[in-house]
Amino acid sequence: MGSNAKERFAGLETPLGRLLRTKTGDCAMDRYDPLKAPAAAAWLALSETERLALVEAYHRKARVRVPNMRLHAAMHAIVETQAALGDETPVLRTLARLIGEGVDRHEAIHAVAATLAGHISDITRGDVSDEDPNAPYFAALEKLTIKSYRRDFG
């Protein structure tokens, strides 16, 4: 992060401002926009705390009201991290397919996050094999459509 960005955040008494004020070195990201894919290397270079702070700052600035901002931000951050991993997961491919179905990237992130939440619920109930716990999630992503997301998650 350049000195101009540090100066912009120096006066902010928010978690993001404090975080960015104490960050050392350069960081290519000082804001998050779910409508635009972050540069994978820049996103992956951030700590989890920084990712969460950026996602929360976006939603607060956009005045998005959710029941639990921290959880909402965490789901965004997980999906973005999985997308940034490229071909290691089907998330990037799934986001592209969903966007191709006509929704914006933010709604596509919510569709993937809802699928992930369902998978986490299955794991906590013991409904997922220990052999490859990600296999059901990845299979669900391959089948996910906007129509199925809206049907299943409203």
Domain spans of the chain?
Answer: 33-153
pLDDT in tens, 32-48: 999 999 999 999 999 99
User: 111: which 2 tokens?
Assistant: 């569709």
Task: Return the pLDDT at 143.
Answer: 98
118 to 3, 8, 42, 55: CA distances (angstroms): 42, 39, 29, 21
* pTM of the predicted protein model: 0.81
Q: Which residue has the higher pLDDT, 149 or 24?
A: 149
Q: Assess contact for 11 and 79: CB atoms under 8 A.
A: no
Q: Which residue has 């179905």 as its token pair?
A: 101
Cβ neighbourhood burial of 23 (10 Å; 0-12, 13-18, 19+): middle
- Give the percent of the chain with pLDDT over 90: 74
Cα 103 to the chain's mean position, in Å? Answer: 16
Q: Which residue has 């989890």 as its token pair?
A: 48
28 residue type, one letter: A
Give Dmax over CA atoms of the chain in angstroms.
50
The arithmetic mean of pLDDT across residues 48-60, rounded, is: 96
